[in-house]
Amino acid sequence: MELNLPVITVPKTKGFRLVNSKLPPIDIFNDVADPDEFQDLFDLQAMTNPRLKQEVGDLNYIDLEEIPWGIPGCPYAASPFTHVSPDGSRFSNGEYGMLYIGDTMETALAEVEYHQGRYLANIEDLKFDRMIFRGLACTFTGGVIHDATALAATHGIYQPDDYSASRVLGAHLRAGDSEGIQYWSVRNSGATCWGLFTPRHVHSVVQAAHFEFIVCGGEIVDRNKVLGI
């Protein structure tokens, strides 16, 4: 897809994302400082921990040299690239992972609420549930970021539920060594998001807050910031 998007440099920027709190951080990423140390420790622990490969994810999805070893929150930066949803996402068809970040926590909440709502709608006979998400503050930079905010929010890559055009764009940019894409949030009008093709330029990912989503009758009916967790 030839859109001739402008290439921008993203200075040190703070953004936000959410992860389900039922998914614990992968501690092994915090225990080493480089790929060689990781491989040695991984091989050693795998002998006695049969669940390690499931916890770490599929390492074939990422070059270990791209993981920002030693940063605060390294597991949060790496896990989207080792735990890749086969269903894909807006800019991925499921063959590679991406790190999605919103400009504010409200943007991150709006994105997650929409996607969780779609998931819940497909669960039969769900009467009530309570989901806890961990809010994360992500600091990152980017030298080769393609700016899709140059396109109107009505462009085909911003279709609410049809990702065909955006996935073609994502694959094209990634194949051309793009580091990521800056784009309009589809769930929070006027807000900005980033989708990173690599965690290489993530500087830190730290816990900011917890949020609960209250589910009733298969729908999210309320969300709240949770204190004391």
Q: What's the pLDDT at 148?
A: 98
* Averaged pLDDT, 53-79: 95
Q: Is the pLDDT of residue 1 over 70?
A: no
pLDDT digits (tens, 9 = 90+) for 154-167: 999 999 999 999 99
Q: Strand pairing of 128-147 and 219-226?
A: unpaired
Mean pLDDT of the chain: 91
* Averaged pLDDT, 85-112: 96
pLDDT digits (tens, 9 = 90+) for 131-181: 899 999 999 999 999 999 999 999 999 999 999 999 999 999 999 999 999
- 48-53 contacts, C-beta under 8 A, 24 or more apart: 52/28
Q: What's the pLDDT at 126?
A: 67
Cβ 138 vs Cβ 102: under 8 Å: no
Per-residue DSSP letters for 135-198? Answer: EEEEEEEEEEEEEGGGS-TTSGGG-SS--HHHHHHHHHHHHTT--EEEEE-SSSTT-EEEEES-
Pick the more confident residue, 116 or 193. 193
Q: Is the pLDDT of residue 51 over 90?
A: no
Pick the more confident residue, 118 or 16. 16
